[in-house]
């Protein structure tokens, strides 16, 4: 069998490039490491980069305003327990609390110091 390692695809690359653009244009955001980026691409990206799902779109502040107002802990609880169309854990069984916090901040485009511990669950 012809050996050829093809570990990425255009779709995923585009998603990651878009995410990277979001990260580097926002101040004081913790950038996901390589592992977290893979978890994002395999899980979060399938809804949060597809407008037709109705999920808040990555980096679009207006989509995240209400959730952000409730605080990061409330968002974390919604991620783990699931809410409406979002499944528990956002499909990511590998994600730790730290992973989820980094990915929430990246998706919502919110600086690290704005969200910590703010608000209650919806």
Partner 1 sequence: MKRRTFLQSTLAAGVSGALGTLAACGPSGEVPQSPVTYTPGQAMPWINWAGNHSCMPKWRTSPASEDELVAALKSAKGVVRAVGAGHSFSAVVPTDDTMISTDLLSGLVRHDPEKMQATLLAGTRIHDMGPLLHSVGQAIPNMPDMDYPALGGAVANSVHATGTSFGSMSSYVTGMKLATVSGELLECNAEKNTGIFQAARTSIGALGIASEITLQNLPSYNLTEVNRIEKFEDVFAEIEARCQAHRHFECYPIPYSSMCITVATDIAEPGDKTIGEDDPQAVNTLRTVFDAVSWVPVIGEGLYEKVLTAAMGDTADVIRTGPSYLVFPHMRVVRFREMEYTVPAESGPACMREILATIKQKNIPLSFPIEYRYVKADDIWLSMFEGQDGCSISIHQFGDLDYKAPFAEIEPIFWKYDGRPHWGKIHTLGEKQLAQVYPRHWQDFQEVRRELDPEGQLMNAHLKGLFGA
Nearer to partner 1, 26 or 89 (CB): 89
* Cβ–Cβ under 8 Å, residues 89 and 95: yes
Q: Minimal distance in Å, beta carbon 120 to partner 1? A: 11
User: What is the C-alpha separation between 55 and 47, in angstroms, rounded?
Assistant: 6
Interacting residue with partner 1 among 24, 25, 96, 111 (CB under 8 A): 96
Q: Would you count residue 9 as binding partner 1 (CB under 8 A)?
A: yes
User: What is the C-alpha separation between 76 and 65, in angstroms, rounded?
Assistant: 15
Interacting residue with partner 1 among 7, 27, 113, 120 (CB under 8 A): 7
Q: Would you count residue 53 as binding partner 1 (CB under 8 A)?
A: yes
Residue 86, beta-bridge partner list: 83
């Amino acid at each position: 069998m012809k050996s050829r390692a093809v570990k990425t695809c255009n779709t995923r690359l585009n998603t990651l490039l878009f995410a990277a653009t979001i990260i580097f244009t926002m101040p004081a955001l913790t950038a996901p490491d390589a592992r977290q980026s893979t978890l994002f691409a395999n899980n979060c990206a399938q809804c949060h980069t597809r407008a037709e799902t109705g999920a808040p779109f990555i980096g679009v502040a207006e989509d995240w305003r209400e959730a952000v107002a409730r605080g990061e802990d409330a968002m974390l609880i919604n991620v783990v327990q699931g809410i409406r169309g979002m499944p528990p854990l956002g499909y990511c069984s590998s994600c730790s609390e730290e992973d989820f916090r980094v990915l929430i901040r990246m998706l919502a485009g919110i600086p690290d110091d704005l969200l910590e511990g703010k608000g209650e669950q919806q």
